[in-house]
Amino acid sequence: MQISEIISEADLLVPNQLTTAEKVMFLNNIEHDFFNVVKIPLILYFSTSKDQSTYVINNIVRAKNIDIVHVGVIKYKELLPNTPNPLQNTYVFDDYSSSIVLNPAPYQEGLKGFLRYFYIAVNTFSALDLNVVPEAPPEYHWTYSLGLASYIANAMDDMNKGSFYEAQYLKVWDTAARQYAGVETNG
């Protein structure tokens, strides 16, 4: 579903005088909110070298979205500031350089690194190109219309309608989040 279609559907739900640019700004917020609620896991593999502790990783990974780090059979846990003397293997991820530092460094040449992280939205919609589609899985694009209708209604001071549409799309997102987390199945 293209963002032009999402805007058209939202306009049917909440007739308004907002500009397309304002609606696109709202859609950017909705896109980022979707991935903050619905954690879609992805796997990234990387090669390691003996005694090398620092590795540059894909720039779509963020520290807050890393879930699991393994090298070979060794599991690494995030080194938190309040852990003065960790008694386990740890990692630190730097968002700016997209690098991960493993402590201790891999003990053998050629071990496979495994990193599970949650997808984040990286695109920014523009009012100049309404033919793009959201990064969310296609089965959730329709919820963006409800989200946009909620934003529009709230912008027009219709809090009842805004809350109504917000509750609808958040319910779907909550179910999706539980499904991706493996807490709930489709059946």
* 134 and 166 part of one domain: yes
Residue 185 — very low, low, confident or very high, per pLDDT cuts 50/70/90?
Answer: low
Inside any domain, residue 187: no
pLDDT digits (tens, 9 = 90+) for 78-123: 988 776 666 789 999 999 999 999 999 999 998 999 999 999 888 8
Inside any domain, residue 186: no
Which tokens go with 94?
């730097």
Angle at 41 between CA 38 and CA 42, to 5 degrees: 140
Helices (H), the chain: 3-13, 20-37, 141-155, 159-180
Of 66, 90, 118, the residue at which a domain comes to its end is 118
Residue with tokens 């090669």: 47
* 49 and 106 part of one domain: yes
* 17 and 77 part of one domain: no
Bond before 138 cis per omega within 30 degrees: no
Count other C-beta atoms under 10 Å from residue 17's C-beta.
7
Of 78, 93, 118, the residue at which a domain comes to its end is 118
Nearest to 91 by CA among 121, 117, 110: 117
Q: CA–CA distance from 186 to each of 34, 51, 74, 119, 175 (Å)?
A: 19, 45, 33, 21, 9
pLDDT digits (tens, 9 = 90+) for 28-70: 999 999 999 999 999 999 999 999 999 999 888 999 999 999 9
Beginning with the edge strand found earlier in the chain, give each strand of the sheet holding 54-56 in spatial order.
41-47, 112-118, 66-71, 74-78, 90-94, 99-103, 54-56
